[in-house]
Every structure is written in structure tokens, then in C-alpha cells.
Chains A and B, each alone.
Chain A
């Protein structure tokens, strides 16, 4: 079946602009995660959605970052007033449930802020 998909694959924007990154999880997966991977770094947790529960936003680095998940499926990560330090690969992952061990990752969106 189809894996996790993300769009766009690459995004170049100017400092101060807003960007939206999209994630389509695997069908039927209730848990969805966003991570950020900066150059040469490990993955940093950003936000977690589980079903209709309130999201765990504890990893968001500033109030310029927000995310939503509509209908328990597609998720959008929005970064307002982008800064150069926001440049990174943004990865989305999904799992069947939080209790399920395996998180399946999408290919990521590479964001470059000029």
C-alpha cells in the first residue's frame, strides 16, 4: 500500500514569509508525528496527533509554528514569518496507534529560508 507522503518535496522561501507543509499519513494510522531534521543533526520531535485528542505541541520551537490535522487524516504544519534557522528537512511519520512500535516516515520536505 501507499506510504506516508509529503508535499512539497522542496520549498524555498524568503525570510518573513509563511509556509505550509503537508503530510498524508498511511490510511488507517491514527497517530501522526512531525519531526525536524537540521543539517547533520538527529531528528527533533515537534508535535504529535492521536485521533481526536488534543495534540502534544510540546516540541514546537516557537509560537510561529503550528499544525493541524483535519478529519484525523491529513496534517498541515505551518511556519509563520519564517527565519533562516527554520531551514531544515521536516519529516512526518505515522503509526497505526501510539502503542504500535513502528513509525513510518515520509520522504520529508526540505525547507530553505533565504
Chain B
């Protein structure tokens, strides 16, 4: 059962543009929503994360917007750079499940120079 749905599968953005990746979840017991960035041949690395008691979190060029009622959250990358080209995964966690992460399918982002 896919509990976290992510879109789009791939995204091409021009340098300086805004990249937006969306995720939707089903289980209201999720209590923590991280985004991971993965470069080829590397493991995923935590980029930014949010809890459901806030609607937005910003760290530098990266912002998470969270809509609890719609059970959706999104990652916005402002002023996208070629170095941001990577695969991005949203995830969700339930503490009651041992804090395992449930991942979306991933979005391959390409930022053209």
C-alpha cells in the first residue's frame, strides 16, 4: 500500500527558476515529514523537514509548505541551480512504527544552466 504519493516523477527547470515537488499522504498518524536529496551513487541526505503543527518551514532556498487538512506537503526550491540537480524524496514517519520512514517514489530534478 503506497502511503505517500509524490509528483512529478521528473522535472526540468531553468537556472534561477522555482522547482516545486508535491507529496500527498494518507495516514493521519504521520508526525514528521522530511525531504531527502540523493545524488547518483550516494545515499539520501536530509534536506529539510517539517512537523504537522506548522504550515511552512524555510531554510535558505528550500521551503516546505504543509497543508494538514488536505494531507499534502510540497518542496519549493527557489533560484534553482544546476547543483540542485538530483533526485528528491519526500517521506513520512510514525513514531509508533519505530520511526521507520515511508518514502514517496522520488522526483528527478534537472536544472539547466
Residue ranges of A at the interface with B (Cβ–Cβ < 8 Å): 4, 31, 33, 35, 40-45, 48, 50, 56, 59, 91, 93, 95, 98-99, 101-108
Contact = CB atoms under 8 A, between A and B. Distances in A.
Nearest to A53: B98
Interface stretch (B52-60, B64-72, B76-84, B100-108): B100-108
A43 B101 contact: yes
Contacts, number: 63
Contacts of B102: 45
Nearest to B91: A43
Which residue, B44, B95, B102, B106, has most C-beta atoms of chain A within 10 A?
B44
Interface residues of B, number: 26
A107 B103 contact: no
B99 A102 contact: no
Contacts of A31: 98-99
Given A59-B100, A95-B99, A101-B93, 14 more contacts: A4-B43, A40-B106, A41-B105, A42-B4, A42-B89, A43-B44, A43-B89, A56-B98, A93-B43, A101-B32, A103-B46, A104-B46, A107-B41, A107-B42
